[in-house]
Amino acid sequence: MCSTAIVMIESSFSGHLFHRAIRDLGHIPVLLTADAGRYRHLDTPDLAIVSADTASIDAIVEWCQRDQFGLDIIGVLSSSSASAGMAASVCRRLGLPGAKPEAIERCLNKFTQRDCLKGAGLLSPSYLFTADPDAATKFCAEIGFPVIVKPAIGSGSMGVKLCSSLVEVIEQMSMVLGGDEFAASPGILIEQYVSGPEFSVETIGDVVIGITAKHLGDHPHFVEVGHDFPASLDWHVQQAIGATVIGAIRALDLLWGPAHTEIRLSADGPVIIEVNPRMAGELIPELVRLACGVDPVEATVILATGGNPVLNRTSNRSAGIRFVSPDRDGILHWGAGAQDARKIDGVVDVELHQPDSFRVQRRGDFRDRVGHVIAVTDDANETAHALENAMRALGARVEDG
């Protein structure tokens, strides 16, 4: 009898959670990647790592059909935005459960997504898709500053900047349009800045699993430096946010699998910043599992194999994560407190992403983070206190160099 396997196309910061869930459900996790060296935590027992051309659907389908390991491949997934569309297309070719590739592509292009959501009558900021500085100048004159400039296709806050003048807008446009890492983006999206606290909504299909509170670093960038789950919100606010997000999910036809939707709670109500057609990153799924007992990663794996996951809460705790994000360039030094941080009541995970003496060169996105701590308790204030003490114990500092 062949062993059953689930293929992951590339990975992400939370990719190892999928490897763990696949293994725990009795399947063999297989990671297809063009460069395994990019990823953390590839030491999951039984994980098979295969070098592959993950930009080619034909190459991936051929590998899956070749069955060179004697495996029965029963599902294909990706935890990465960049590969979510590829995973959906491969599933369609192989006749496996998965999202609609068209829905994934509709989400990944932020301009197309904006048009779709606006057409569905959802509250939306003013926006413009362009590569023309003259068009950008006219648009900014009409709506005023500040505005957000971002690549039309991208993730992890890469290339996203709050601009307070036309000079900043043109400079950011030039940087994105001329940068190799944004080559996949067909142009620039300029959006009216929406003020208000930011949250993310974690969903499976059209079921809201919960709402996560975000902690953002200093402008002009939007680096996420922490998350709390569940967010402390009044019931009627939760209902309004949930209804808005489910309306967006349905408008985008993203009714299979996980989505991670970012919103701002403006004076006029919830405004969708963007819908990501994949599981939340940054270990948010782990916060969800720790806090309410629902494992969205396991649920997604079950869906990928044609099953029906149970999404009922089994606990009511408070979980949070804080990232160590240096506020200056230089040489990173850790204090002697990593072990002390792990001993703090409520702390369940401490990880240093970079070694002592690492040279910090900030980029204004997720790559600036050099470590994290996770805590879970029965009370949101206790969790916040544990996280604060753990971060202090780590004693990270950056010196000139």
- At 26-79, the pLDDT tens digits run 999 999 999 998 888 888 788 999 999 999 999 999 999 986 678 899 999 999
Least confident of 163-172, 336-345, 351-360: 336-345
- Contact indicator for 141, 182 with CB cutoff of 8 Å: no
- Taking the CA atoms of residue 241, residue 199, residue 311 and residue 18 in that order, the dihedral angle to the nearest 10 degrees is 150
pLDDT of residue 68: 67
β-bridge pairing 71-77 and 3-9:
parallel
Name the 3-class secondary structure at 49. Answer: strand
* Residues 264, 289: Cα–Cα separation, whole Å: 24
pLDDT in tens, 368-380: 999 999 999 999 9
Let me know if 349 is exposed, middle or buried by CB neighbors in 10 A (0-12, 13-18, 19+): middle
pLDDT of residue 339: 85
Same topology, domains 126-192 and 198-399? Answer is no
Which DSSP string corresponds to 159-191? T-EEE-SHHHHHHHHHHHHH-GGGTT--SEEEE
Per-residue 3-state assignment (H helix, E strand, C coil) for 116-167:
HHHHCCCCCCCEEEECCHHHHHHHHHHHCCCEEEEECCCCCCCCCEEECCHH
Residue 316's identity, in one-letter code, is: N
* Residues 104, 99: Cα–Cα separation, whole Å: 7
pLDDT of residue 274: 94
Q: State yes or no: pLDDT of 2 exceeds 80.
A: no
Q: Which fold has domain 126-192?
A: Dna Ligase; domain 1 (3.30.1490)
Q: State yes or no: pLDDT of 365 exceeds 90.
A: no
pLDDT of residue 79: 92
Distance linking the first and last C-alpha atoms of the chain: 58
Q: Positive or negative CA dihedral for 53, 54, 55, 58?
A: positive
In the numeric block, which tokens belong to residue 172?
A: 């950011």
Give Cβ neighbours of residue 194 (< 8 Å, ≥ 6 apart).
125, 264, 266, 271, 273
- Give the Å distances, CA to CA, from 30 to 20, 65, 296: 11, 14, 19
Q: What are the structural domain ranges in the chain?
A: 3-96, 126-192, 198-399
Alpha carbon 96 to chain centroid, angstroms: 24
pLDDT in tens, 92-132: 999 999 999 999 999 999 999 999 999 999 998 999 999 99
Residue 263's identity, in one-letter code, is: I
β-bridge pairing 359-360 and 28-33:
unpaired
Cα angle for residues 327, 333, 335 (degrees, 5° grid): 110
**Among 383, 60, 357, CA closest to 228:** 383
In the numeric block, which tokens belong to residue 375?
A: 């805590």
* DSSP letter (8 states) at residue 225: E
Query: Per-residue confidence at 183, pLDDT binned at 50, 70, 90?
Result: low
Whole-structure pTM value: 0.93
Q: Positive or negative CA dihedral for 215, 218, 222, 223?
A: negative
Active site residues: 278
Residue 186's identity, in one-letter code, is: P
- Contact indicator for 212, 229 with CB cutoff of 8 Å: yes
- Give the Å distances, CA to CA, from 134 to 129, 130, 140, 173: 12, 9, 10, 12
Cα angle for residues 293, 295, 296 (degrees, 5° grid): 135
Query: Per-residue confidence at 224, pLDDT binned at 50, 70, 90?
Result: very high
Query: Per-residue confidence at 81, pLDDT binned at 50, 70, 90?
Result: confident
Query: What is the CATH code for 198-399?
Result: 3.30.470.20
Average pLDDT, the chain: 93
pLDDT of residue 55: 94
CATH architecture for segment(s) 3-96: 3-Layer(aba) Sandwich (3.40)
pLDDT in tens, 225-242: 999 999 999 999 999 999
pLDDT in tens, 260-269: 999 999 999 9
